Structure formats: structure tokens, C-alpha cells
């Protein structure tokens, strides 16, 4: 995966600064265009207009440039020159609009910003973006390994890339994205599938054991089939674990020391909310997550779905 255009939302919080630095590192490595986006809440814009502050957008842009202008302590000749976009509106809509306008093939953002932990759970900008995006989103949690910035640029290493594969219609796309990232960074690749536990009363114990064995064998065969179709140019390993998809995948990836977890944002079986499993994973993990949306559906359709996701709660 070598992005050509990256969008980085910044809200002046420390997590958004860390996510920006990941975006900067990727843009430098791939020689990609980098667009830094800040959305002014409509109520704040109205307040500024009421106080006759006509220059609030220009002032905000200047602050945005200052906030992102220096990285590390050494020379910064390697830094790409970002494009800065300051607009008024709901942040998640402005992020997606910028991604569409600038032809982004990757959005890099934090799990949380100025809204804090409470917004991480309900109604957060990140969750809205995950539900509505048509391009991959690299989400950086607060506890993610920090980048090293050296004199000649950022040091970004990914020895192990893990992918959570749900074996649904988008499984091959998710695995393919993980394989491309692993090939780009010379990483080892781990494909993991979580088999949901079979619930049954005690008298069904023998059947439950058999059902679990069949499910694991079926998943093993499906993962092997995906590897065969991809034929990745890096070492690859497959694993089947038992448990809830997000919880088990995150735990296994962390146990194996993965540096990146790739997963899909499509609704999985038992959920009709796009992005729900990926978002739960982001609430659990301390490693960056690359969320891969389904290829079908227009941006307008996905934005509409994101705007109305509360109906599913």
C-alpha cells in the first residue's frame, strides 16, 4: 500500500497531533500529498460572526500551521508541505468532504480528540467517519508506539502486520490490503479469524465440542484459501481463535506483538451497524488499526448511514 493522497484531521488535541505525525511519516515515505483538515464547530463560527471576528478562519489556519510545522528536534527538510483546509461544519462530514475533494486514498486520525473518552464511546467523530468512509482509515490510539524522527526523516517500522479476517464477502479485500502493507514494509503477515463460541446447555456438550471443531477446521481451510489466492511476497501465518471477533483479534494480535491491525468496517453477522466491530477493536487495542471499508456504496450513501447510525442503538 503506497497512498498518493492522505487526509489528516487535527483538532489541536495531543492525540490528533500524534495521528498527524503518523500521517506525516507515511506521506514522506510514499511521497504522497498531505491535507491537514480542521473543522470549526458551527456554533463557534456563529459566535465569532456575532462578535464581528471576520478573520477567524484565517486565524485558525495560522494556528493550524504553527501546530503542525515542527516535528522532532532535527532538520525538517524531509517534511512534505501540507495543504491546510479550515472549514465550518460537523467534523466528520468535513473530514469526508476533504477526502473526497482531495482524492484521498487514506485518512489518518486519532481514536479521540478534544471530546475525550466519553466521546470515544458514543457519537465520536472517529466512529462517524468509520461508518461513512469509502477509503481506508488508519486510526491511532493514544497508547500507540511513538514514531522516531531522525535527521533524514521518520523511522516507521512494522515487523508484524496482523489482519482480523471475518470470512465474509470483504475478507479477501481486507487480507489483500494487509498483504500490500506487509509487502511495502517488508513485514511478516498474520491472518487471524475469531470463531464465536458455541453456546449450549450441558446436555449438548458433545455436540458443542464437535460444532466448535468443525467451525475451526472450516475457518482454517478458508484462511488457507485466502493465502493461496493472495500469494503474498512476505512470510505469512494463519491462526484461528475462539471468542468475540474484536476482543479475540485484538488480544491475539497484542500477544503476538503486532505493530498494526488491519480489519474491515463492513457490518458483520449479528450486527447491521457498519464499523461496529472495528470501532470496538479501537476501544480495546493500543496498536494502530487500519480500517478497510467495503468497496460498494457511494459516498452519499455512506454519509447518510453515518448520520443515522444512532438508530441502531
Interval 223-279: pLDDT, tens: 999 999 999 999 999 999 988 888 888 899 999 999 999 999 876 544 445 556 777
Task: Give me the residue spans of the domains in the chain.
Answer: 1-152, 157-313
Q: How far apart are CA 302 and CA 273, in angstroms?
A: 11
CA distances from 202 to 196, 209, 211, 298 (A): 18, 11, 14, 48
Q: Could you report the per-residue pLDDT of 25-42, keeping only the tens digit for each?
A: 999 989 999 999 999 888
Look at residues 215, 289, 218 and name the one whose alpha carbon lies nearest to residue 258. 289
- Burial of 99-129, coded b for 16+ CB within 10 Å and e otherwise, reads beebebebbbbbbbbebeeebbeeebbbbbb
Interval 174-199: pLDDT, tens: 999 999 999 999 999 999 999 987 76
pLDDT interval class at 73 (50, 70, 90): low
- What SS3 class is residue 313? coil
**Cα(300)–Cα(312) distance, rounded to whole angstroms?**
19
Per CATH, the homologous superfamily of domain 1-152 is HUPs (3.40.50.620)
CATH number for the domain formed by residue range(s) 157-313: 3.40.50.620
pLDDT at 59: 87
| Higher pLDDT among residues 207 and 89, named by residue | 89
The segment with the largest mean pLDDT, out of 100-114, 118-132, 269-283, is: 100-114
Select the highest-mean-pLDDT range: 57-71, 122-136, 223-237.
223-237
Residue 283 has pLDDT above 90, yes or no: no
Q: Do domains 1-152 and 157-313 have the same CATH topology?
A: yes
What pTM was estimated for this model as a whole?
A: 0.84
Amino acid at each position: 500500500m503506497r497512498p498518493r493522497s492522505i487526509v489528516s484531521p487535527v483538532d489541536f488535541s495531543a492525540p490528533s497531533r500524534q495521528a498527524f505525525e503518523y500521517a506525516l511519516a507515511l506521506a514522506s515515505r510514499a511521497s504522497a500529498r498531505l491535507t491537514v483538515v480542521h473543522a470549526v464547530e458551527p456554533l463557534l463560527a456563529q459566535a465569532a460572526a456575532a462578535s464581528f471576528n471576520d478573520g477567524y478562519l484565517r486565524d485558525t489556519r495560522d494556528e493550524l500551521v504553527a501546530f503542525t510545522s515542527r516535528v522532532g528536534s532535527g532538520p525538517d527538510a524531509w517534511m512534505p508541505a501540507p495543504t491546510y483546509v479550515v472549514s465550518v461544519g460537523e467534523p466528520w462530514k468535513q473530514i469526508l468532504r476533504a477526502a473526497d475533494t482531495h482524492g484521498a486514498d487514506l485518512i489518518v486520525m486519532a481514536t479521540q480528540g478534544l471530546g475525550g473518552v466519553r466521546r470515544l464511546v458514543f457519537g465520536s467523530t472517529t466512529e462517524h467517519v468509520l461508518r461513512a468512509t469509502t477509503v481506508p482509515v488508519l486510526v491511532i490510539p493514544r497508547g500507540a508506539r511513538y514514531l522516531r524522527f531522525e535527521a533524514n526523516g521518520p523511522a516507521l517500522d512494522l515487523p508484524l502486520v496482523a489482519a482480523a479476517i471475518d470470512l465474509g464477502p470483504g475478507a479477501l479485500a481486507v487480507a489483500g490490503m494487509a498483504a500490500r502493507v506487509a509487502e511495502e514494509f517488508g513485514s511478516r503477515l498474520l491472518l487471524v479469524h475469531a470463531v464465536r463460541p458455541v453456546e449450549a446447555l450441558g446436555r449438548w456438550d458433545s455436540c458443542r465440542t464437535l460444532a466448535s471443531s468443525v467451525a475451526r477446521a472450516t475457518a482454517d481451510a478458508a484462511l488457507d484459501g485466502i493465502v493461496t489466492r493472495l500469494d503474498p511476497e512476505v512470510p505469512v501465518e494463519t491462526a484461528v481463535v475462539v471468542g468475540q471477533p474484536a476482543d479475540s483479534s485484538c488480544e491475539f494480535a497484542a500477544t503476538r506483538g503486532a505493530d498494526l491491525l488491519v480489519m474491515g468496517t463492513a457490518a458483520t453477522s449479528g450486527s447491521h451497524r457498519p464499523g461496529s466491530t472495528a470501532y470496538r477493536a479501537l476501544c480495546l487495542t493500543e496498536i494502530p488499526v487500519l480500517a478497510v471499508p467495503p468497496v460498494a456504496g457511494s459516498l452519499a450513501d455512506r454519509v447518510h448511514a453515518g448520520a443515522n447510525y444512532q438508530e441502531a442503538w
